[in-house]
A = this chain, B = another copy of it.
């Protein structure tokens, strides 16, 4: 029986970019339900004792990551422009996703925000960037951004991040299928295989 894929992503995360651009179409192609699971990597890294992205803490690994991401994006036909600030503030966009995870426009919003960060080098932490993204999707930007600042929405994102940690998630993107955890853009295919596997 087909199980849903829960897609755990962070708007500042480099490998989340190609995964976020591909996941909805990949799930549709396999007939697999998709659940968007935004969370924040900061507290996840903090729980591991890290105060910054491992790609900044370990610059040799960071240099490789950018080259590897280049190759992945080229193979996928995705534009890539290295963000002038890394990691970018992702709180606002993540809260909007947490509050609107079931909205019909959420996939388009996720992809537009990732494109803004990784293809257009825009500061996605700013309402001045996120507002026009929402408007381009025909949404009421002012009200959605206001709702992102409510205590309820803040708590919803905190709950998602706590849930990520409780599930053993330590990086992004991650995929969960039932209790099985898959980490990394390069594990998307086997996560989908797990979701469609006959028990």
Contacts and interface: CB of A to CB of B under 8 A. Distances in A.
Contacts of A168: 60, 63-64
A39 to B, nearest CB: 14
Copies of this protein in the assembly total 2
A3 B183 CA distance: 31
Contact of A64 (B61, B63, B183): B183
A181 B48 contact: no
Interface of A is mostly: helix
Interface string A160-199: 0000000010110000000001111011001000000000
Contacts of A71: 190
A162 B61 CA distance: 16
Contacts of A60: 47-48, 168, 170
A183 B61 CA distance: 10
A5 to B, nearest CB: 16
A191 to B, nearest CB: 11
Contacts of A181: 64, 67
Interface of A: 47-48, 58, 60-61, 63-64, 67-68, 71, 168, 170-171, 181-184, 186-187, 190
